[in-house]
């Protein structure tokens, strides 16, 4: 089971790694390395989007830790299998993934080769879309098991 009740906050235990494994040292920029580079840049953008104003829509958790602090902590974490994540934080992350995937898969001009920068955004957006789908299922299973 992937659920853990923690001071009346619902916690999800990740069942897979969210960040692609590092492929540094590779001479050629492989597809995986491109996704890794894309994700690093977008996670930095997610941090910038989590303003005090945006975070004010969310309540602090039982320990009094603000949503912004929890979200930023999550974005900077390894995001690996077994990590425990606040459902509220994970839902906001999924929302950001969906938004970015939509922009990068549907808002880019046509790419002609895999060397085009638009292709990096397309495959990154595709990865985010797949990740969002898997996380939505994990959240659903967690909430369903809580009832």
Query: What are 63-118's pLDDT values in tens digits?
Result: 899 999 999 999 999 999 999 999 999 999 999 999 999 998 887 667 666 677 77
SS3 content of the chain, % helix, strand, coil (to 5): 55, 10, 35
pLDDT at 3: 39
pLDDT at 111: 65
User: What is the total count of domains within the chain?
Assistant: 1
Q: Residue 104 belongs to what domain range?
A: 3-146
CA terminus-to-terminus distance, the chain: 13
What lies within 8 Å, CB to CB, of 50 at 6+ separation is 68, 71, 72, 75
Tokens of 22: 């590092």
Q: Which residue, chain included where needed, has tokens 């809580």?
A: 146
Q: Which residues of 102-117 are buried (b: 16+ CB within 10 A; e: fewer)?
A: eebbeebeeeeeeeee
pTM of the prediction? 0.83
């Amino acid at each position: 089971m992937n659920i853990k009740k923690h001071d009346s906050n619902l916690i999800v235990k990740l069942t897979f790694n969210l960040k692609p494994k590092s492929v540094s040292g590779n001479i050629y920029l492989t597809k995986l390395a491109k996704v890794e580079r894309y994700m690093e840049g977008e996670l930095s953008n997610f941090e910038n989007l989590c303003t005090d104003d945006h975070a004010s829509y969310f309540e602090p958790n039982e320990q009094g830790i603000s949503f912004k602090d929890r979200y930023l902590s999550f974005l900077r974490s390894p995001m690996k299998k077994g990590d425990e994540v606040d459902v509220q934080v994970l839902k906001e992350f999924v929302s950001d993934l969906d938004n970015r995937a939509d922009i990068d898969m549907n808002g880019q001009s046509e790419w002609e080769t895999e060397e085009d920068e638009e292709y990096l955004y397309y495959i990154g957006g595709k990865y985010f879309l797949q990740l969002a789908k898997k996380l939505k299922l994990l959240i659903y299973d967690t909430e369903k098991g809580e009832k």
